[in-house]
Structure formats: structure tokens, C-alpha cells
Structure 1
Amino acid sequence: MNLRAQDIPGLPPPEVQPAAFEMAGIGLHLGGTAILQDVDLQLPPGRVMALLGPSGSGKTTLLRLVAGLLAPDRGTIRLGGQLVAQAGRALPPEARGLGMVFQDYALWPHMSVAGNVGFPLEMRRLSAAERSLRVARALERVGLGAFADRRPAELSGGQQQRVAIARAIVAEPALVLFDEPLSNLDRELRESMVEEIAGLVAELGLTALYVTHDHAEAFSLADTVAVMEAGRIAQIAAPETLVADPASASIARFLRLGALLPARRGPGGWHLERGARLAPAAVAPGEAATVLLPATAICPVAPGPAAIGARVIRTLFRGDGHLATLALEGGHEIQLLLPRRPVPGEMLGLRISEPQLRWFPPAPHRSFPHPSSPSERLSP
């Protein structure tokens, strides 16, 4: 029989490593408006958490609280087990031992790469020899050891991002904060930079809090994603869990997980309003609901009595397939990625995988912005 240390009488319990950061009951008002309400968060060392939400959801304000740029009205913040903020009081940023990567990298153009990376150490009054050693080590860790004497303007965007990360880690902080570092880039460059940052974060073993409004970015980088809505944590889970089991219709809509359509209980089960039968009667309580149809739950088939009828309105070639806008029975529109180009006006049949449907209470109010297209998107 194997004994654990905690099973042996007289031995003290094993030491538990404190969370990299912990928030409990955080609230904040600015100008009489509630910005954050009852926020509880905890991040273990060696993990990456993304704060995800639309503009105005409170994610950047929350990051500023962790950084020490704001103080909460109520609640506490701890870094590595140390209390750094409580109602109306907070340690300043320089006393928190954090690294930070900003939206625009915030590199000084007149300084060399080594000068930019070493600046935080200079502010801490480390000796020149110690600064030189640490800067060289940080640049080697991000693959820029040969670029110490360059100016930022001589580097590519990806290399500048690496310099910003080197500066954030040069003092070997316990926590690195990323404040939407890719928000100002076009989509193609942003996608390549996400891979770049994800690789660096994994290679360096960083503990990080990453703020973004882009769910693909959050899913690529984070172990855990906290979705924020109106100053609260609406759901916190692994990316896979958010996709498979969103906590609300507004989260599913914000993450663009599929079509959200109104449904009503009717003869033989649940039906789209004025449309086809979707599922047996026992799936959801009440007489009305909002149903999420993920793209994976819909399979095009030949039209017939067992299929939901859908009329093709228009199509758009996307390179990986044809994005078709379809009108369902009852007048609802959805978009579905198809391998072939259908003809406008053509009737298709759709088979629904009932176990993959997700049901929510009917909620006319939308907390998150709707996708730009008037149709519900079912494409990736």
C-alpha cells in the first residue's frame, strides 16, 4: 500500500503553491457607472488565461487592476499569494513584479533592441554588467540574440513583437500581461502573429493573462478563457468546453458557434417557429426556447420528408468552400459552408443531429454584438 505524505500522522500538509494571481469579489465604479461587478478569478502558475469579450465588457479595466493602474472599490487582488490591492488601496505597478506587452509594442525608436529590453532593469538600478547578462539571455530566449544592436525600425513586425516580449520577461516576472497586442494588425498578419506568440508563450513556459476581443486568438493561446459580459464573468472554461457547451445564447452568439433560432413546443416535439420539427418534446422546459444549431449538427441531404427544407438565396466562394445563405421553413435565414456551389433558388434538404443542439431560454435582449451579416452564421 502506498502512503501519501498527508496520510502520515504528525507530518505537516504539503505546501500548496499560491495562484499566480487571484481576484475575489472585485467591484469598480468609474464616473458613477459600474464597470466591474463581483469578479472572482484565479490563475495557477504556468498557465495562460484569456479575458475575452467585446469592447466595453470590462476586460481591459480588469487588466489595469492587475497591473496596478487602477484600484478596486471592493474586493482583493493577490499576486503569488501577496495582497497587492483592496478597496481604495493598491501597490503601484513597479512594486508588483509584472511584465507587460502593449497594443503597439511601445518600443522606443531611438534606442537599440538591447536598450529597449534593458530599460526595465535600468529603472531598477541594476548594474550594467547584470543588465547586459539578463538582456542577452532574454533576447536569446526569443530568438533575437543577433539583433541586440538593431533599431526597432529595422525589424519586421514579428521581430518587434519578440522584442516586446523579451522586455516583458527580462526581469523574470511571475506573471506577464498582454493588452490586446494584435488588435491594430490586419487579419492576415494577426493570424500569423497569433501562432508566433503562442509558440513563444509555450516555449518560455510563461504564466500570462491575455486580453483580446477575438475568440480565435483566445482559443489559440489560452488554457482557460474567461468570457466577460457587462463587467461580469459570464463563463470561464477551457476553449473546448466553451465551444461544446456555451452557458448562454449571448455567449454562443458572440463566439459565432452557429445559428441561434427561436423554437416552440408543438405537436410531436420542438419546432422552429412557423417551421420544421427539430427535436422530441422532452429536450427543454417551457413552451419557447432559443436553439443553437452548430455547423457540425447540420448535414446537407437530398430533399425529402425526413429533411428540413432550405432554399438557396445566394452563395459566396471562400476558397475552402461555398458559403451559402439559406432560407429555412418559416423564413429563418442561416449560412452554411458547402463543398459545391448551389444554384440560387435550389431546394436543399438538411438533416439535424439532435444531440448536438443546445437549448437556451428565450432571450430577446442581446448582450453581445450580433455578427455583421443579417444571417445566422453556420460556417467556421
Structure 2
Amino acid sequence: MDLTPQPPLSTAVVDTPAALEMAGLSLRLGGTPILRDIDLKLAPGRVLALLGPSGSGKTTLLRLVAGLLVPDAGTIHLAGKLVAAAGHALPPEARGLGMVFQDYALWPHMNVAGNVGFPLEMRRMPAPERAKRVARALDRVGLAAFAERRPSELSGGQQQRVAIARAIVAEPALVLFDEPLSNLDRELRETMVGEIAGLVEELGLTALYVTHDHSEAFSLAHEVAVMEAGQIAQIAAPEDLVADPASVSIARFLRLGALLPVQRGAQGWYLRGGAFLAPPEAAPEKTDTVLLPSRALSVTEPRAGMLTATVTRTLFRGDGHWATLALDGGHDIQLLLPHRPAPGAVLGLQISHGSLRWFPSSPSKRTSP
């Protein structure tokens, strides 16, 4: 009998490793810096969107996670396992990932079950186990009755579900979405965003979702990483990004409202060359730009001392009238109004000062935890 004293049983809770963690990740292609010092962490069961314009580095970052590129510096861990470091990387098939592509990438000559089971066939999984997993995956996405159909017999939404079933059939720890809706028209894209969001939530997926469409990112993700020139400019929940963008460029990219130049005057803050906007304590001393989100403004009858605007044109959008308003100093703003104002009409604008966002002359990079 081993009488060696044993350590007491620990009651400490062991932390679950992040589904995805990047640290100091950098990449150069052809001598040009593409990604610089990327730090990201994604918890299990959460969805993170990589959002940014073309050329911001979001797709390149996804390719690094997938194992299609090798970083020059930094590390990538998946579920606590090191899968990439400077100059070294596990191949895609060794990472246990699922992927949903832009064009679904379904094989037209295979039926739905064959498409979904293809990743398992490549792993040489025995046919009985493969059939069981395919059936389970199709059932989870609501396509159990479509196993024998060809992709050409399905609607766009059903094909998207097949692509998701294929991505989850091996029960991966992380699913990568590479702009899956970018090739669709606006109406179908809006419908499919709801479809994917519902499936991701129902299936409890952990996902990294790449998109250039902010409404798509806001609908799907728990957190959004806005990328600019190969770096992360801000990471935050969608609500926090809208309420508190970290910079003028982020506010402009997200189309959060009118960005106007301001200057300090005798009574407080004024639109540059124009009207009084807010009292002196509303903004720090070194400020040169203000964001006027639509929620900060309400239209009323003009009164003395109030910010006023002249209607220059209107467009009916179904849910209201999109009006372009000219402010003093040559600045324009746009508001959605319930009634069509007459061109040339002068409107009073009441301002909720707490909803304004002020930006310094040299805004610093901020990230939210």
C-alpha cells in the first residue's frame, strides 16, 4: 500500500480555456505589413464579428485562424492548444474547425447528405458513424427530410443551412464564417441574417464571423472587432460601439450620424462657422469634432437661441421621409422624419447633449474589454 501523503483535494474552479486566443499576431506579405499586433480572445458559446472595409485585414486574420496562412509573429491557441506561432502552423485539417464560405461551396453532383458528410469521409470515419452524425447535423438545422435532394433543388436559405450542417457535423469547437452573405442582394441578405442568427443561437455555436456589413455584425455577434489598416481599432458589444465609438473613423464607417467640426466660443461649443451647440462643460478643451447621432436630435418649431436647419431635399423610404437638412456654417445632416417637410422649411432641433459624442484633435486608440 502506498502511504505517501497525498495533497488535499482542490475545490478551486478550473478555468475553461478560450475557444480562440490570439496574442501579438502579425503578418507581412511581400514585405508589406498586413496585420499588426492582434490580440483577441473568444469564449466558448460566443460569437465575435470581424468588421471592416475591404483591405482592413479581417479576411487575412480569418485565414490565419483557419491555417491557410502562417503568422510572422505571435500565437494562436484553439481551446488552449497552440496551433500557430511565428513560422509554424498546424494544417487546417488538424485544427478541428468548421467553415462556412461565401458561395456555400456545395458539391452539385452530391446530394445533401453527401455534402454534409464529406468532411467526415475525408477523415475516413466509418460509414455507420458517418451516417449517424450526418442525420444528427441535418436534424439540428431543420433539414432532416432533405437528405436525398441535390443542392440545386433547394432555396438559398436551405443551401445556407446545408453549409452550416457541414460545418458542424464534426462538432468543432469553433466555426468560421467567411462573409457568407456578401454575394446576396440586400433583401435576401436581411432574411438570411435572421436565419443564421437563429441557427447560431439554437445550436450554441462558438463562431468567428467576417463581414463588411455593420448591420450584419450587430445582428449576429456578441462582440464586434472593428478593423482598420491591419489593426483592431475597437472591440465592444454592438450596443457599446453605437453608443461610444472610439474614433471619428469608426463613427463614419458605422454611419452613426453627422460628424461636424466644432470650435470653442464665448458661451461654449459652436459648429465651426455656425450656431451654438452645447455649453462649455459638454466637451473637453481639445475637441474639434462632434457626432450628432439621430437619437440626439428631435424636430420642433424653431425658437430663438435654438439650433435650426433648413430642409433641402427629402426621399420617401417606406418607413418615413429621409430629409437632408442644412445647418448654419454650410453643414448638412440627415434625419428620418415621420412627415414630409416642405423644401425650404426651417425646423428647430432640440439636442440631447448626453447623446452627443465628442472627439479630440488627435483621437487615441481605445478598446473595450
Same fold (TM over 0.5): yes
Say which SS state the counterpart of residue 315 (structure 1) adopts. Answer: strand
Counterpart residue type for residue 292 of structure 2: L
Q: Kindly indicate whether residue 353 of structure 2 is the aligned counterpart of residue 354 of structure 1.
A: yes
**Structure 2 matches for 1:29-108, cutoff 5 A?**
29-108=28-107
**Structure 2 matches for 1:309-348, cutoff 5 A?**
309-348=308-347
Could you tell which deviates more after superposition, 273-282 or 103-112?
273-282
Segments of 4+ in structure 1 off by > 6 A?
none
**Structure 2 matches for 1:1-380, cutoff 5 A?**
11=10, 13-286=12-285, 288-362=287-361
Q: Is the 8 A contact 2:286 2:361 kept in 1?
A: no
Once the 2 structures are TM-superposed, how far is the Cα of residue 45 of structure 1 from its aligned partner? Answer: 0.4
Counterpart residue type for residue 21 of structure 1: L
Q: Identity rate of aligned residues, in percent?
A: 76
Say which SS state the counterpart of residue 281 (structure 2) adopts. Answer: coil
Counterpart residue type for residue 38 of structure 2: V
RMSD between aligned residues: 1.2
Q: CA 1:317/1:142 → structure 2, altered by over 3 Å: closer, same or farther?
A: same
Once the 2 structures are TM-superposed, how far is the Cα of residue 14 of structure 1 from its aligned partner? Answer: 1.7
Say which SS state the counterpart of residue 282 (structure 1) adopts. Answer: helix
Counterpart residue type for residue 89 of structure 1: H
Once the 2 structures are TM-superposed, how far is the Cα of residue 12 of structure 1 from its aligned partner? Answer: 5.5
Which residues of structure 2 form unaligned runs of 5+?
1-7, 364-369
- TM-score normalised by L of structure 1: 0.92
Q: Is the 8 A contact 1:262 1:362 kept in 2?
A: no
Once the 2 structures are TM-superposed, how far is the Cα of residue 363 of structure 1 from its aligned partner? Answer: 6.2
Counterpart residue type for residue 322 of structure 1: H
Q: Is the 8 A contact 2:287 2:359 kept in 1?
A: no
User: What is the CA–CA distance in structure 1 between the aligned matches of 2:209 and 2:278, rounded to whole Å?
Assistant: 39
Counterpart residue type for residue 71 of structure 1: V
Could you tell which deviates more after superposition, 188-197 or 277-286?
277-286
Say which SS state the counterpart of residue 333 (structure 1) adopts. Answer: strand
Say which SS state the counterpart of residue 194 (structure 1) adopts. Answer: helix
User: What is the CA–CA distance in structure 1 between the aligned matches of 2:81 and 2:286, rounded to whole Å?
Assistant: 51
Say which SS state the counterpart of residue 76 (structure 1) adopts. Answer: strand
Could you list the per-position Cα deviations for residues 247-303 of structure 1 after superposition, in whole angstroms to 9, with x for gaps in the alignment? 111111111111000000001000001111111112333354100001000010101
- TM-score normalised by L of structure 2: 0.95
Q: Is the 8 A contact 2:113 2:148 kept in 1?
A: yes
Q: How many residues align?
A: 356
User: What is the CA–CA distance in structure 2 between the aligned matches of 1:206 and 1:288, rounded to whole Å?
Assistant: 42
Counterpart residue type for residue 220 of structure 2: L
Q: Is the 8 A contact 2:282 2:353 kept in 1?
A: no
User: What is the CA–CA distance in structure 2 between the aligned matches of 1:180 and 1:290, rounded to whole Å?
Assistant: 33
User: What is the CA–CA distance in structure 2 between the aligned matches of 1:100 and 1:266, rounded to whole Å?
Assistant: 55
